[in-house]
Amino acid sequence: MIGAGYLLITALIWATIIAFSWGLAKYLKKVYENEKTFLDKILNPLENFIYRILGIDRSKRMGWKEYFLSLFVFSVFSAAISFVVLAFQGMLPLNPMKFPGMSWSLALNTAMSISSNTNLQHYNGGSSLSYLGQMVGIQFLQFTSASSGIVVAVAIFRGFAGKRDNNRNLGNFYTDMVRTMTRVLLPLTLILSLILIGLGVPQSLSGYSLVRTISGSFELIKVGPVSSLVSIMQLGTNGGGYYGANSANPFQNPSPITNYIELGAMMLIPTSMPFLFGQMLHKKGEGRTILIASYGLYAIDLAIALIPLTTLGPGMETRFGGFSTVLYTVTTTAFTTGSVNTALAAMHPLVILAAFLGMMIQATPGGIGVGAMYMLMYVIITVFIVGLMAGRTPEYLGAKITANDVKLAIIAFLAHPIIILVPTAIAYATGAVHTIGLGKGPVGFTQILYEYTSAAANNGSDFLGSTGNTVFFNVSTGIVMWAGRFIPIFIMLAIAGRMSGKKRSTEVALRTDNLIFPAILIVSILILAVLTFFPFLVVGPILMHLEGIRNAL
Amino acid sequence: MKKGNLISSTLRLALVLAVICGLVYPVVVTGIGQAFFPYQANGDLAHLGNATIGSYLIGQSTNNSHYLFNVRNDSASGVDPDITVSSALAQARVIHNSTNISIAYLDSLIHNNTRYSMFFFGTAYVDSLSLNIQIINHFHNSIAVYGKIYDRVNHH
């Protein structure tokens, strides 16, 4: 009876989010195809004012190289602004708690982490960040990394949709970014922030207060601009919390209701991307394929995590109970958000295994914008494999997929294991693992592998927390996070640029808009992930699980 | 596009968005939140008499006293105020033995404050701080120990 209740709640959440996402996608199409919306009267003058400040030609359309370069240089500048604020917050205003600036390596790690949509946190925000640090150091980058993800997806969709003039039809980076802020992220976060405040999440700039508790000891009430941060960290699949304990902290996530709202918030925009893809292509079936494949993988992930029947235990929060904790952990890795409402060390090895799968695949449905991008990468690899088996030239959306397209997709795919496994090996070889007190066994290995997997997948959940605050881990994960962010984006924009110029045939050799193709896609993704990562999962969470069984005998 | 244009435009975009998303947005949310939901926006503060004694959302240790409900100390946040109903019922027996507060009163208190992790099923739990404050308010004149706690907080 209770098992059925849990499944019913999950089904209700999925149905609600899919319905909302479908509606959102219709609105997003209007935003990115410059159609009229009800917000035009207020927003057009504001946007024109911003365009004048930027000094840009808004009618200009960009090719993939210019689009990428603009995004990359913009990301460097925004990370630099955050770095300065974090490193020098001690001398800056809005610091009633008088927190000192971060060390250079921690400020660097944090700026690279938030700007790459990872939000790996080697700091405890509640006890080390000023209000300015939380607002301009963190929230600002959570907005820009979220909108970067969306505009990359939109640019790639435009390329895949083809038509228009050769190679210059990925859109205009500046107008895409500005419109994403003014028309999508700011309105959604404003609504969500106010709902969360009403449900108990604090929003204040008046400083921490010291009170005497009922037993006479002293307690700091750590209120700040929490709700405005939580809303963008969830909607933008960022995951970097206001407090060290992230979404387990009652100020960030006070009740079961806020837990489900925050859970749904991280699913909303990534789920709308497949619908947007279908609508921009005027081929809804192609969008459906992406949606079914990503939710199919999400379901498999969840099924693995639910095998152990987790009940409330140490390292969890009473108000969430066992099931919601597992559902949140799987969802936060499946959507590569990385906020956590539990202590990961308390989770069953099979839940950790499911978390690894989500971060290794990155398209289940994956992070904001980039999840759909990774799914298109898998589609290209899959049509190639199917083409080989059928002895035909691979095609997607009527365009021929050439050897170079496949090579690019494979490079994007292989970048992921390389930037996970090479740094993991270096961390062991240099002894960096032992300096933070982790041993050689499967538990220590799982934690280090998880650290780099989470960094590479731009997820951000981790075991280490502030114990990872060493120069080695700050710098190495910083590099991994930016490589994990920008290498795949560079390659997929290149593929989109190539796709945009291709001739489209109306004859269809391999249908990708039916119900069989998503099934093939899921199988091929699982095979690719398992072939790549299985040996490392065996010596990590799988060995932990087997040891657990042996110890129970 | 010239490189110079790209650098100046992306830098300007970063600065403009830092102001809009990093300053204007959180300040506007704070203004609206403080105007419409002042209690929640300031952290659900709990009071005893005139004194602020904490937040209802943040659990408080009672130093394993036998007079009040104790929080669990192995949660993820470390400040989880909630305890399971079964733990609360067990603690109610200890409190009854130390204070003579009737079991019927404690059980009905637990019953009236029970919530569920899945709205109507799942883990049944109560907020330990909320229970303690209700007990103190109910008995502060009649039982010495609560009077003492009440006085200490009031004199602070």
| Chain A stretch 206-225, residues whose beta carbon is closer than 8 A to a beta carbon of chain B | 206, 209, 211-217, 219, 221, 223, 225
Q: pLDDT tens digit string along B41-52?
A: 999 999 988 889
Q: How far apart are CA A262 and CA A231, in angstroms?
A: 8
For residue A1, the model assigns a pLDDT of 42
CA atoms within 13 A on the CB side of B23: 10
A vs B: CB pairs below 8 A: 260
Task: For residue B10, give the nearest of A70, A178, A317 by CB distance.
Answer: A70
Peptide bond preceding A365 in cis form (omega within 30 of 0): yes
CB within 8 Å: A202 and B42: yes
Residue B38 with chain A: CB contacts under 8 Å: none
pLDDT band at B140 (very low <50, low <70, confident <90, very high): confident
In this structure, the number of other CB atoms found within 10 A of the CB of residue B151 comes to 12
Q: Contact, A381 vs A413, CB < 8 A? A: yes
Q: Count Cα atoms within 13 angstroms, Cβ side, for A398.
A: 15
Chain A residues in contact with B76 (beta carbon < 8 A): 245, 248, 315-317, 340-343, 346
CB-CB neighbors (< 8 A) of B138 in chain A? none
Measured CA to CA, the distance from residue A486 to residue B29 in angstroms comes to 32
pLDDT exceeds cutoff 70 at B154? no
Query: Which residues in chain B have Cβ-Cβ distances shorter than 8 Å to A229?
Result: 26
Whether B6 sits inside 8 A of A78 (CB atoms) is no
Question: Which two structure tokens, joined as six digits, stand for A187?
Answer: 């309105």
Q: Tell if the CB–CB gap between A203 and B152 is shorter than 8 Å.
A: no
Query: Is residue A54 within 8 angstroms of chain B, CB to CB?
Result: yes
Per-residue tokens: B29: 């949310």
CB contact under 8 A, A81 and B15: yes
| Chain A residues 98-137 with a CB less than 8 Å from chain B | 135-136
- CA A442, CA A285: separation in Å to the nearest integer? 44
| Stretches in chain A below the pLDDT threshold 50 | 1
Cβ of residue A227 closer than 8 Å to a chain B Cβ:
yes
Q: How far apart are CA B95 and CA B67, in angstroms?
A: 5
CB contact under 8 A, A55 and B65: no
For chain B, the structural domain boundaries read 3-38, 44-155
Cβ–Cβ below 8 Å for A203 and B30: yes
* Distance, CA of A111 to CA of A191 (rounded, Å): 27
Shortest CA distance from B11: residue in chain A: A77
Q: A66, A214, A230, A235: which to substitute to probe chain B, counting the most B Cβ within 10 Å?
A: A214
| Residue A317 token pair | 């929060």
pLDDT at B156: 42
Q: For residue B78, give the nearest of A77, A215, A245 by CB distance.
A: A245
Report the SS3 class of residue B37. Answer: coil
Alpha helices in A33-126 (DSSP H): 40-54, 64-87, 104-115
pLDDT value at B149 more than 70:
no
For A140, the closest of B18, B51, B156 (CB atoms) is B18
Looking at residue B48, what is its pLDDT?
87
- Return the pLDDT at A167: 55
Exposure class string for A72-106: b at 16+ Cβ within 10 A, else e = bbbbbbbbebbbbbbbebeebebbeeebebbeebb
pLDDT score, position B63: 78
**CB contacts, 8 Å: B84 with chain A:** 312, 318
Q: Is A300 on the interface with B (CB under 8 A)?
A: no
DSSP single-letter state for residue A255: S
- A327 and chain B in contact, CB less than 8 A: no
Q: CB contact, 8 Å: A6 with chain B?
A: yes
Put simply, the answer to whether A55 touches B8 (Cβ < 8 Å) is yes
Confidence at residue B66, expressed as pLDDT on a 0 to 100 scale: 83
